[in-house]
Chains A and B, each alone.
Chain A
């Protein structure tokens, strides 16, 4: 059943072909074209990845193939041909026939894609039943076991909320492949999961589809992941296919300017580039933005020692159990450098950030800022301390007060600390906007009028208003599209060299860490398992956990030729 036997057919028929597809959404402001002239073919057994940023139309294109466009969307031009049959305007009955048995789907978010009120087994069983397959308990268990779910028979009797994210995604993969479809549409199947889980799931999906000879249409925002997993990569930008071809060719020889930008910016590719270049004998320093690492004196701006945070979890009947979120963590940040704390969800990294910000009390241990322990500060000293450490958060939608315009947002810290007169404050706000490369005309606008990247710039400007020494970036670029992410990282690097800032970078994304951090501390389940300079940690990871994390960076399996570097 392996697809590699397809050589002999002279002109094989594509399994899925989209010809000049155009998709239009009707909104209250009239028709909005979402996809134009999209062209793609998926051969039997082939994995094709569509890569693009949010709003590029990649998901819409894929969903159209299985007749799942939102109610206000329609195919306005072109055709969808599945296995030689034009299904562009096929009847509801025909589409229902195809779904599940011929075209399966694995959706993006495992948390919201299983119906919370039905047992997992029920949700598998109804799939089998609807497609006319045997659906006894052993069939259900078999399907789940194939997707790598341990103890499948008893797991089938559980509800989705009793599953972890990774297990739910396995259940969804089981459902998607249960009826042996010839095409599987996988819409960002792992982007909501931790990197190590992500890798396991993708590996499993790879093996399964290869064994079954299933063709996969993989939707992803991560070029590295696409290149690693797909035979063919299709790059979409603003509703159009801008480039398509073999994965490697796109990486080595991107011809469309957008693809070129993407190849240059994608963190997974960029971090591979550094690794590859190092193998080729190039020194890291030449590849990275100039940092003070080389000249860094041993001036520690923040020293964290044996920091511990225990939360009381209230049980029933007044009992409470202790949960140690952060367990004896020690690290320090040298002035003017970037230290990254890396970990997966639940590692305690964000709790560390909150404690360093003074927003959460420490159970024990100390956080010394310029030698002064901030865990013992009084109210007045704490207020002064706040000027020196400022945060930038992950969600650019949530970190700005929607009721405040940009001027008020950036001016607020100045006003709270009674800095200058109104006039001076306005001048300062203009300067700050200039520093983060936003026009001062932006001052009167409101957050809802700004893009994600612009909001993050405003958040940076607000953080810088009080001339802090340390900025704590809690997943500050994780929610942004790749190109925007690269821009913001550049901005942060520029500001660092300009203002001598020290960064504490909290992130789950090792690819980003490779690009920006001087020091790395790896956290697992509240404990700090490894730390060192970025080069040390990436080149010679000493713990198995760090090794697993590094191996899980999408695109880690890619070995790029030096030309790309």
Chain B
């Protein structure tokens, strides 16, 4: 790189032929005070801060978000209730149900009153947490594994793999979650084996296309990034590039949608139970309680209100968490 020689532009030498525009107006040559406008070294970013990975950065911004704090506290509380229901109520949920208490209002020791069968509502709500959470958690896990795998393969390899997987996804997409679940749930095979796990299987069967679509889109966006090409030209195999570079970078939107779907699956379970075709009546769940409180809605609306509230708060906290994560992991906000 040649250095300019700053000889003073004197009069020596031949007169230069110059083609620049000359103005009709006098133009003064202004130079800022160098002390006030110091020239810093080119391209230096001085930073003593600890190194921050993208996840670290996301975590930092999450910690400051009220939405995240509220939802995280709520979710931890719900998980705690699910794991240790006994801490929150002394009443067993199914025993001590006295028909004389049917639809009774709150009394000492039973702050939320009684169900139609005369069971303690608080206790039913507390013990119902577990099944809702289990279904939501495992359905999400299954959907992320299956949908994520299919979406990642379709997005990364493209071509006919993508075409076939996308068509299969479309077919399942034409059957909305609840509709598909209803069709399957009423089959004798499932009616004879109604439990948490068959319900999870059904929800995963009809729930995976959404995650597959999200993953596919995210993978396609990353697939053509220069860093993937760079890895390929280093000798990393296609599958290696998918696992080491593409998937980790495509994870953010999948995590967001998965968090929200956890709430959706909890709703789906309760909806099916509410329709009387979800979990069997002997499994305690919010949906079942709402189902059984339906006939006495006018006389005892509280029997629907409390499990409904528990359900809503749980779902709300997962959806809020998803929203907070979306803000923190937003790929558009990633580039500085």
Is B299 interfacial (CB-CB < 8 Å)? no
From B21, B43, B231, A230 is in contact (CB under 8 Å) with B21
Q: Name which of A165-173, A321-329, A411-419 contacts chain B.
A: A411-419
Whether A246 contacts B23 in the complex (CB less than 8 A), given A484-B42, A561-B13, comes out as yes
A90 within 8 A of B: no
Using an 8 Å CB-CB cutoff, how does the interface string of A44-84 with B read, 1 for contact, 0 for none? 01110000000000000000000000000000000000000
Complex alpha-carbon distance, A227 and B20, angstroms:
7
A256 touches B16 (CB 8 A): no
Residue A527, interface by CB 8 Å: no
Residue count of chain B within 8 Å CB distance of chain A: 60
| Nearest CB in chain B: distance from A273 CB, A | 7
B45, CB-defined interface residue at 8 Å: yes
A416 B234 Cβ-Cβ under 8 A: yes
The answer to whether B336 touches A359, judged by C-beta atoms less than 8 angstroms apart, is no
Pick from A94-102, A125-133, A232-240 the stretch touching chain B: A232-240
Q: Does B25 contact A264, Cβ atoms closer than 8 Å?
A: no
A416-B45 contact given A232-B27, A237-B37, CB 8 Å threshold: no
* CB of A161 within 8 Å of the partner chain: no
Q: Is B334 an interface residue (CB 8 A)?
A: yes
B4 touches A564 (CB 8 A): yes
* Bound CA span A255–B30, Å: 9
Indicate the size class of the contact surface on chain A. 35 or more
Q: Please give, as numbers and ranges, the residues of chain B lying within 8 Å of A260 by CB-CB distance.
A: 4, 6
- Cβ of A562 within 8 Å of any chain B Cβ, yes or no, is yes
Q: A240-B32, A454-B43, A559-B16 are in contact. Are A288 and B235 (CB under 8 A)?
A: no
| Given known A253-B9, A402-B334, contact A231–B21 (CB-CB < 8 A) | yes
B54 with A402: CB separation less than 8 A: yes
Does B3 belong to the interface (CB within 8 Å)?
A: yes
Tell me the residues in window 230-277 of chain B with beta carbons closer than 8 Å to chain A beta carbons: 230-236, 240, 245, 248-249
A515 at interface (Cβ–Cβ under 8 A)? yes
Interface flags, A377-414, vs B, CB<8A=1, else 0 = 00000010011011101110111111101000000110
Say whether B226 faces chain A, with CB atoms less than 8 Å apart.
yes
Which residues of B are found within 8 Å of A559, using beta-carbon distances?
A: 16-19
Contacts of A362 in B (CB 8 A): none
* Among candidates B32, B43, B227, residue contacting A241 with C-beta atoms closer than 8 Å: B32
User: In the bound complex, what is the Cα–Cα distance between A344 and B37 (angstroms)?
Assistant: 38
Residues of B within 8 A of A318 (CB): none
Contact assessment for A398 and B234 in the assembled complex, using a CB-CB cutoff below 8 Å: no
- Quote the shortest CB–CB distance from B166 to chain A (angstroms): 16
Is A263 among interface residues, defined by CB-CB distance under 8 A?
yes
- In angstroms, how far is the closest chain A Cβ from the Cβ of B21? 5
Q: Which residue of B3, B233, B248 is within 8 Å of A403 (Cβ)?
A: B248
Contact of A359 among B1, B52, B233 (CB under 8 A): B233
Contacts of B5 in A (CB 8 A): 563, 565
> How distant is the Cα of A82 from the Cα of B40 in the complex, in angstroms?
34
The chain A residue with its CB closest to the CB of B336 is: A448
Residues of A within 8 A of B53 (CB): 403, 405, 446
List the B side residues contacting A557 at CB < 8 Å. Answer: 19
- Select B235's contact among A43, A287, A386, beta carbons within 8 Å: A386
Which residues of chain A are within 8 angstroms of B25 by Cβ–Cβ distance?
Answer: 6, 12, 43, 46, 231
Question: Closest residue of chain B to A263, judged by CB?
Answer: B4
Q: Determine which of B9, B30, B229 lies in contact with A393 in the assembled complex, contact meaning CB atoms within 8 Å.
A: B229
Is A365 interfacial (CB-CB < 8 Å)? Answer: no
Chain A residues packing against B (C-beta within 8 Å): 3-7, 12, 39, 43, 45-47, 227-232, 237-238, 240-250, 252-253, 255-258, 260-261, 263-265, 270, 273-274, 287-289, 357-359, 383, 386-387, 389-391, 393-395, 397-403, 405, 412-413, 416-417, 444-446, 448-454, 459, 462, 466, 483-484, 486-487, 489-490, 493, 515, 557-565
Q: Which residues of B contact A (CB under 8 A)?
A: 1-9, 13-14, 16-25, 27-32, 34, 36-37, 39-40, 42-45, 47, 51-54, 57, 225-227, 229-236, 240, 245, 248-249, 334-336
Given A256-B34, A386-B234, A393-B230, 6 additional A-B pairs, CB 8 A: A43-B25, A253-B29, A391-B229, A401-B249, A449-B45, A561-B9
